[in-house]
Amino acid sequence: MNSGFDIFTDAQGKNTAYALSGSVLYSIDLSTGVASEIADVPKGTFIGLAVTSK
């Protein structure tokens, strides 16, 4: 299974967590741990997840 996790901190200091499991990308509420599906990603071989700003 492909999986990954990263926490992104924006310029205002807000942390947002993301997780990849299989072919689904989730946002993770850092206060509760609740995962919310936000996108399907193309199937492929992933070895991790890294989030950057534009």
Residues 18-48: tens digit of each pLDDT? 999 888 999 999 999 999 999 998 876 677 7
* pLDDT score of 52 more than 70: yes
- pTM, full prediction: 0.81
Q: Which residue has the tokens 């509420």?
A: 29
Take residue 31 and report the two structure tokens written for it.
């206060």
* pLDDT band (50, 70, 90) for residue 50: confident
Q: What CA–CA distances, in Å, run from 7 to 18, 43, 44?
A: 6, 22, 22
CA 1, distance to chain mean position in Å, is: 15
